[in-house]
Structure 1
């Protein structure tokens, strides 16, 4: 899989931009703030329906414009796909595949598979559990696009259930009678939906974590010269003995929700479910978070991304690899190890402020990006 052409309209700083890309490495060089990261951000958004830099869509649209448009011509074996996405803050985004409108934007997930590594990925280690859950969910959807619908259904039910619990909490706090039989009956219905979608999402995450553990460990061993072993384990409040069986997990979620009902009404929030889970990372015998050095943190974060790359490649579709301003942050050994992965990818996009930061072995197309202008350097 690779991107042949990328076109942007009113995306970030670009009124219009177009870049033709070839297989192998492509290096985008330019000072910070001149637009090089905006180009790869568009591809990351197209792959995940989410930016790696911001949590909302509004900053992606050029100031004064109503929408931004991303168009990418994607080559997958002998197939050619034209993926188009219109980003409309405050409204539903619109997506087309080969000129055909899609009913939901999430149906475009899978047209482009991309693994990106950026300085922001240190949050995979140092950040809150939500960052690691998002990492798993994005990889799960890239691997099996149907899970985008499962995740959307779970989030929708969770939001509705939290609204009902919050209403009950506020009524009780202000001296109201609290939830009566009708409200509790409604909560029972939401419990059933949450358990169903949550069981399916949890089963997908558990299976993914089991498949991902070995590629991540191997990637880290390669990056860090085998100095310490990294382990990855999915953790859930439902227990440690979970298997990736959605029916069994749905039943366990139902029991857990029933047991937490009184406490949830008291607190006004859903306290049970995949939205509270985490990924536990250990380096040797110690948790990575709070114990790893700065260099070790970089190595583990990089291993998470490269392990994901290897897992998708083992499934039969090697994704494109995006390395956004990371070579300058790495020491010589880690640069060379990362360069080895970049060479193995069918297409790698690299951004940097200084071309000398990129190992010389990564020869390919070079683009100079200056004040929003993109120039192909022959």
Structure 2
């Protein structure tokens, strides 16, 4: 089998609910209402086609498209699409001098997902079965209802909706200029939901060490499940100090770009819970390695975002651990993800099991 065509589309999708976090907001500081979704469509001489995607909120979307079209496509033509490990390495080495994270990784993820889609279709199996079929479903927590612009009452309503579906818990954002505002919001949510409800928090790299230490101690008092991205992601030593000083688990990884960056956190004991983002690390091929590293190191894995493709890894190689229910790109797909009693099931179709209808591409295409 040989690759005969690599095509890229770029979609601008409306978010189901506007988002605003400690590190992400609109041009004027308000909520963000759209997400960009670069698509890689790979066709073969066997008639099989694979589709993969990346995502970005605040920039770089057209750059990702250019990397796929101008840099990766020529390297892939004529190659065997089943050689995903070799092709991942080929692409990674070719552009590592200009981007070992960010734009290049997002482009690589779109290609990698498309290759795994082809591999699954060629085998007649869902990708999670190819990876190992560790389990048939994974628990989810609701993560699209705790944005900074939302009132406490709005968050509580959204959280009740998630919990009524049987989800294991909810996550809310931190990151106001005055951290006391965040502590008050968490306190009120905890009171409304009760002491037994699983609540996680995410600061999106907002604070310095003294502020994060103070907030972390308050979150411990409130029985919060984890304290996510409290500090700038490149500051491994500060995360190590914070993890040592606090009892609440430090969750980290959504902005890391490779297994080597995760390894630095593991070696420094700087993160208790690892959160790889399937698109930001370059796809399934790299994410599986990160999951195995975490398992060897005794670190729980709780993948970040992109649940439609992340579920393949979560069920393929993870024996436990949740995924994040964030339906940012759900509107692109022909069928919704199957969710029963708070657990998500991977599609049972060969490959990724995801179809993006042509009318969706036409409607949301960025020229």
| Fold shared, TM-score > 0.5 on shorter chain | no
Higher relative contact order (CA 8 A, sep 6+): 1
- Shorter-chain TM-score: which interval? under 0.3
Larger Rg: 1
Q: TM-score, normalised by structure 1?
A: 0.26
Query: 1 or 2, which has the higher helix percentage?
Result: 1
Q: TM-score, normalised by structure 2?
A: 0.26
